[in-house]
A and B are shown apart, each in its own frame.
Chain A
Amino acid sequence: MPSSPFRRPMALFGLAAALLMATPEVRAAAFDIDPDHSFVEFRIAHLGYSVLKGRFNVVRGSFDFDEKNPAAAAITMEVETTSIDTNHAKRDKHLRSGDFLDVERYPKATFKSVSFVENGGTGRMSGDLTLHGVTRRVEFPVTLIGSGPDPWGGFRRGYEGHLEIVRADYGIAHNLGPAAERMTLDLFIEGIRR
């Protein structure tokens, strides 16, 4: 008869005990980004006379945060570039085209942190932003909005961060005028602890 853990109760028990003991330590600080309460938005000047706002509707990722070791905090997140939404069908179609995001070639934009320096409720996040197939190291301030239990038995933690980028650095150089060479990414990220 072949050997199987299910035929060896003690081995199964040992495995389960090992998992149970390891779990709190490994997973206590892991958060999944809540796609319903996380927003990756952007702002860009319209001709220098006003501001155009938009967002990416599909956001996912996870982050780690341990109160005892904030410097170990890390985040990995991505957006689907096709989910760009500026509340205007023809403009969104143009933004997805080769003139801008080229979503067929670059369906995802990602951010992977490399370091986090905490200073009370704020911190500086440093990491690699990949947009339009170009990866660049960026650094920007993030602020803890709040953290605590939610009414449904979960535990949540939310941040905001704002990052200014130069479009041409990422090869998105379609001319929108001198006021619109830079743009700002506004991130509102809420995680649910696993």
Chain B
Amino acid sequence: MWKNTSTRYGLIARTLHWSMAPLLFGLILLGLWMTGLEYHNPWYHRAPAIHEGFGVIAFALFVVRLIRRRIDPPPPLGAMPEWERVAARWTHGLLYLLMGATPVTGYLITTAKGRPVEVFGWFSIPAPFAGKSGLEDLAGQIHLVFGITLGALALAHMAAALKHHFFHRDDVLRRMAGALPDKPNHLNA
């Protein structure tokens, strides 16, 4: 139930996947919205604080997810053309890369002049160095590119899952949705 089987993702993998999916889309949209806010907007300070807090949580979940994936590999893909396997492998690789790298670049924006990142007032993460001139700009540009790329890849990933579910009628989406029995299923054989 907890661990992955040969045909479906386990509960831990599914929980991580489905909690991070809305979290990451929310962070991307929040980030794009908040950077355009006018100075007197009530969300001008609040939105970045929320973005940073959830960004740290997303990174923590990513670390857990990455380690867990090493220990408990995902179920192998079913029958599909070779190009789809290659595309899936690259998309997943890039998604993981960006899930890790995007929060790091965001962290470097806030901490570029030595300030810590506050996580909802619970705790704070100190800056890596006392201050680096111009780092906030470089980190900001990379953060934007990474965030948008991550969002675009996640949309492609969603579209591919829906294509498998509705057009090929295979188990690609079901095995992550948790709608499959733990035993190998024969419908799709």
- Is A176's CB within 8 Å of the partner chain B? yes
Of A83, A87, A89, the most chain B CB neighbours within 10 A belong to A89
- Is B137's CB within 8 Å of the partner chain A? yes
Tell me the smallest distance from the CB of B136 to a CB of chain A, in Å: 4
A57→B136 contact, CB < 8 A: no
Chain B residues positioned under 8 Å from A124 (CB to CB):
none
Contact of B136 among A89, A176, A177 (CB under 8 A): A89
Chain B residues positioned under 8 Å from A175 (CB to CB):
38-40
8 contacts between A and B (CB under 8 A): A87-B113, A88-B113, A89-B110, A89-B113, A93-B109, A175-B38, A177-B39, A177-B40
- How many A-B residue pairs lie within 8 Å, measured between CB atoms? 34
- Is B111's CB within 8 Å of the partner chain A? yes
Chain B: residues with Cβ within 8 Å of the partner, total of 16
- Is A110's CB within 8 Å of the partner chain B? no
Binding site for B on A (CB under 8 A): 57, 82-83, 87-90, 92-93, 96, 174-177
- Cβ-closest chain A residue relative to B135: A89
Interface residues of B in 82-123 (CB under 8 A from A): 109-113, 115
A92→B40 contact, CB < 8 A: no
Tell me the smallest distance from the CB of B145 to a CB of chain A, in Å: 15
Bound Cα distance from A83 to B134, whole angstroms: 8
Interface residues of B in 131-153 (CB under 8 A from A): 133-137, 140
- Is B48's CB within 8 Å of the partner chain A? yes
Chain A residues positioned under 8 Å from B136 (CB to CB):
89-90, 92-93
Contacts beyond the supplied A57-B133, A82-B137, A93-B109: 10 A-B pairs with Cβ under 8 Å: A82-B134, A83-B133, A89-B111, A89-B135, A90-B109, A92-B136, A93-B136, A174-B39, A175-B38, A176-B39
Contact of A89 among B38, B39, B40, B115 (CB under 8 A): B115
Contact of B110 among A57, A87, A90 (CB under 8 A): A90
Chain A residues positioned under 8 Å from B137 (CB to CB):
82, 93, 96
Tell me the smallest distance from the CB of A50 to a CB of chain B, in Å: 15
Tell me the smallest distance from the CB of B41 to a CB of chain A, in Å: 10
Tell me the smallest distance from the CB of B16 to a CB of chain A, in Å: 30
Bound Cα distance from A57 to B134, whole angstroms: 11
Chain B residues positioned under 8 Å from A93 (CB to CB):
109, 112, 136-137, 140
Chain A residues positioned under 8 Å from B140 (CB to CB):
93
Bound Cα distance from A57 to B111, whole angstroms: 19
- Cβ-closest chain A residue relative to B141: A93
Of B40, B48, B137, the most chain A CB neighbours within 10 A belong to B137
Give 7 nearest A-B pairs by CB, closest first. A89-B112, A89-B136, A89-B113, A93-B136, A93-B140, A176-B39, A93-B137
Chain B residues positioned under 8 Å from A96 (CB to CB):
137
Chain A residues positioned under 8 Å from B112 (CB to CB):
89, 93
- Cβ-closest chain A residue relative to B112: A89
Chain A residues positioned under 8 Å from B115 (CB to CB):
88-89
Of B48, B113, B133, the most chain A CB neighbours within 10 A belong to B113
Bound Cα distance from A87 to B134, whole angstroms: 12
Chain A residues positioned under 8 Å from B39 (CB to CB):
174-177
